[in-house]
Amino acid sequence: MNTAERTLNVALVNMPWSRLDAPSIQCGLLKSIAAADGHCCEVHYPNLEFALLIGPEVYNSVSEMHAGRLHLLGEWLFSYAAFGEVTAEHEYFADFPEIAGIWRDLTGKGTDDLVTLRREGVPRFLREWADTVDWSAYDAVGFTSTFLQNAPSLALGRHLKERHPDLPLIYGGANFDGHMGIEYARHIDWIDYVVSGEADLAFPALLRALARREPVGIPGVHGRGCAQESTAISTPILRNLNTLPTPDYREYFSRMAQDDRSRILGGEPVKIPVEFSRGCWWGEKHHCTFCGLNALGMAYRSKSGDGAMADLELLLGQYPALHVDAVDNILDMKYFSSLCSDLAERHWDINLFFETKSNLSRAQLAMLRQAGVHRIQPGIESLSTNILELMRKGSNKLINIRLLKWARYYGITVFWNMLTGFPGETDADYKEQLDIIPALWHLQPPSGSGQIWLERFSPYYTDPSFHISNIRPRACYRHVYPQRMDHTEIAYFFDYDAPDIASGTAHSALDSAVEAWQKAWEGPPPRLIYQAAPGRITVIDQRTGTPRRAVLTGWRAAAYLACGEAPRTAERIHDELGHGCDSPGLHELESFLRGCLKAQILVEDRGKYLSLALPENPGW
């Protein structure tokens, strides 16, 4: 840094409803970036203190509530402090009658309590934060905002601006991507700067301009503090992730060390967030039709295997945690021959999480497990090939089942959901899934099922060829944000009309089947295994209360195993069996496969077969 420049004192703030069990990677990374430019930067975690105020269980329920995206309860609770009365509370409760039941289940209290929290508890909490931290010591304050953090971040910003009118307030994060950021900057008086898009280059450029007291004119940075309007909606994306420093999480871990961390986390372990890649290599080629992730930064970029390993080594060495969550949208496949193989050799007792594509082979899942990956989110979304094609997922029913099968074998927890409501789907697509689910009870059930949301930036939102019409901001926005703002510009979730969607009855039937599957996993998970011996296998079926077993010998055992690792056609299995005197004819083989289908120890799709039983012997 030029020594003539001022060194700035910068605060970064992580508001509710950010997760409690991890520090903010956005703040941690920007802190390191600012520090590399010579500035002093501190991260504040009001989210942790708010959780202690309302109770971590209530906090987690509100922040994790999937339907929260529909009623924005977490945002609504802070909108009064941010904007005053936007709509009357009874109107919100009338639009979202489920809120009363949700709050009663969470707290045992009525909506009066919710209103008191909104009108008194939250403003008091914000006043305390505004008064007890010496904000006058800072030259700028930055808020990171993703998911439900927006109204809370705006609310604290309002309090800070009232007390410190000259303190520059900077907003960024996914909630400020694209036109959303411009609209917030236009209508919210206390916002000085919005960084719309990736902040790795724009944030230090902004700090540099503030340090030099120069006029601010940075592409993708908007707001009343700018000397000139940026013509670029978003900041340019960072091409080389290897240039990024390792995030700094010290404030989060010191806060955890001050307290009995179980008061905040219960039994949950702390997760260290890492970011090894941005964008999506699949979405670059075939953007999944429902996906609004990555906004304008779909181009895939990743750190080198060595760079990713260096981050891991530093963070795991520095902080007392063994769980690491990659925030990447999709695992870089080149890590199988670099990062993963390197980790496998180190034998660290770590517990890694990655989002992946679902078409991972048995060998790749084994490699992940050896590398310490205990949890994955593979974007399964459906068990219907037709629906998966409609969503351009690049997978099919058997690829998804193969993933679940070998993940169970290697002890990898799979986080996945069933999605419904794709234009072009039919009731038959759901009937097919209902028929197959009982055969999959020994595999990990989805966390739930539900209709897709229409998300800004998704092909369903941007591409008129899907014939999605009457797109309008979800009703919740009108209860959270003032009418003077254009809600079509700030909303991320939209209501819509779509043609050709399967019936509500079909969707409900899937919901019930998923619930039954989840229930089957409440005790010891159901099992379907085989024991191998020379010339035979014994299939032991303990998926239901009526255990069964079958012994397959000779070519039948070989045929069953031949379609175990990956889906195979009958012809391919036949070829693999060879042409010895014991080998069956193709018709005889097909008849055997049909028998296995009937017994639900095999699944079929478009002429390919996959056996379902897992080897009893362990995966190591």
Which is nearer to ligand SF4, 142 or 273 (by Cβ)? 273
Burial class (CB in 10 A: 0-12, 13-18, 19+), 598: exposed
Q: What does DSSP say about strands 277-278 and 493-497: parallel, antiparallel, or unpaired?
A: unpaired
Q: Provide the residue type at 192 as one letter.
A: D
Closest CB 281 distance from ligand SF4, rounded Å:
8
Distances, alpha carbon 296 to alpha carbons 208, 233, 281, 327, 456, in Å: 25, 10, 14, 17, 11
Which is nearer to ligand SF4, 459 or 564 (by Cβ)? 459
Closest CB 250 distance from ligand SF4, rounded Å:
31
Closest CB 318 distance from ligand SF4, rounded Å:
30
Number of H helices, E strands in the chain: 28, 25
Closest CB 342 distance from ligand SF4, rounded Å:
25
Q: What does DSSP say about strands 373-377 and 448-451: parallel, antiparallel, or unpaired?
A: unpaired
Which is nearer to ligand SF4, 249 or 457 (by Cβ)? 457
Closest CB 378 distance from ligand SF4, rounded Å:
10
Q: What does DSSP say about strands 323-326 and 271-274: parallel, antiparallel, or unpaired?
A: parallel
**Are the beta carbons of 351 and 371 closer than 8 angstroms?**
no
Torsion of Cα atoms, 460 then 464 then 466 then 467, to 10°: 120
Q: In terms of DSSP H, where are the helices of 468-543?
A: 476-480, 487-490, 504-520
Closest CB 297 distance from ligand SF4, rounded Å:
11
Q: Which residues bind ligand SF4 (CB under 6 A)?
A: 280, 282-283, 287-288, 291, 293, 329-330, 379
Closest CB 380 distance from ligand SF4, rounded Å:
11
Which is nearer to ligand SF4, 315 or 331 (by Cβ)? 331
* DSSP per-residue string spanning 449-481: EEEPPEETTSHHHH-GGG--EEEEE-THHHHHS
Which is nearer to ligand SF4, 330 or 502 (by Cβ)? 330
Which is nearer to ligand SF4, 285 or 606 (by Cβ)? 285
Per-residue tokens: 238? 């960072």
Which is nearer to ligand SF4, 315 or 380 (by Cβ)? 380
Q: Which residue has the tokens 């010891």?
A: 524
Which is nearer to ligand SF4, 287 or 608 (by Cβ)? 287
Which is nearer to ligand SF4, 251 or 355 (by Cβ)? 355
Which is nearer to ligand SF4, 288 or 388 (by Cβ)? 288
Q: Provide the residue type at 581 as one letter.
A: C
Distances, alpha carbon 24 to alpha carbons 19, 48, 311, 317, 497, in Å: 8, 11, 16, 18, 36
Longest CA–CA span in the chain (Å) reads 89
Closest CB 241 distance from ligand SF4, rounded Å:
17
* DSSP per-residue string spanning 100-166: HHHHHHHHS--HHHHHHIIIIIHHHHHHHHHHHS-GGG-SEEEEE--GGGHHHHHHHHHHHHHH-TT
CB within 8 Å of 525: residues ≥ 6 apart = 442, 444
Closest CB 112 distance from ligand SF4, rounded Å:
41
The C-alpha atoms of residue 599 and residue 361 are separated, in whole angstroms, by 25
Closest CB 295 distance from ligand SF4, rounded Å:
11
Which is nearer to ligand SF4, 309 or 391 (by Cβ)? 391
**Are the beta carbons of 267 and 49 closer than 8 angstroms?**
no
Which is nearer to ligand SF4, 282 or 530 (by Cβ)? 282
Which is nearer to ligand SF4, 243 or 462 (by Cβ)? 462
**Are the beta carbons of 115 and 89 closer than 8 angstroms?**
yes
3-state SS assignment for residue 369: helix
Which is nearer to ligand SF4, 283 or 526 (by Cβ)? 283
Which is nearer to ligand SF4, 210 or 383 (by Cβ)? 383
Of 157, 162, 214, whose CA–CA distance to 184 is shortest?
A: 157
Closest CB 299 distance from ligand SF4, rounded Å:
12
Closest CB 417 distance from ligand SF4, rounded Å:
11
Torsion of Cα atoms, 339 then 342 then 347 then 352, to 10°: 0
Closest CB 503 distance from ligand SF4, rounded Å:
25
Would you give the distance in Å from CA 328 to the centre of its chain?
A: 9
Closest CB 289 distance from ligand SF4, rounded Å:
9
Closest CB 415 distance from ligand SF4, rounded Å:
13
**Are the beta carbons of 275 and 29 closer than 8 angstroms?**
yes
**Are the beta carbons of 288 and 392 closer than 8 angstroms?**
yes
Q: Which position's Cβ is nearest ligand SF4?
A: 283
Q: Which residue has the tokens 């001022």?
A: 6
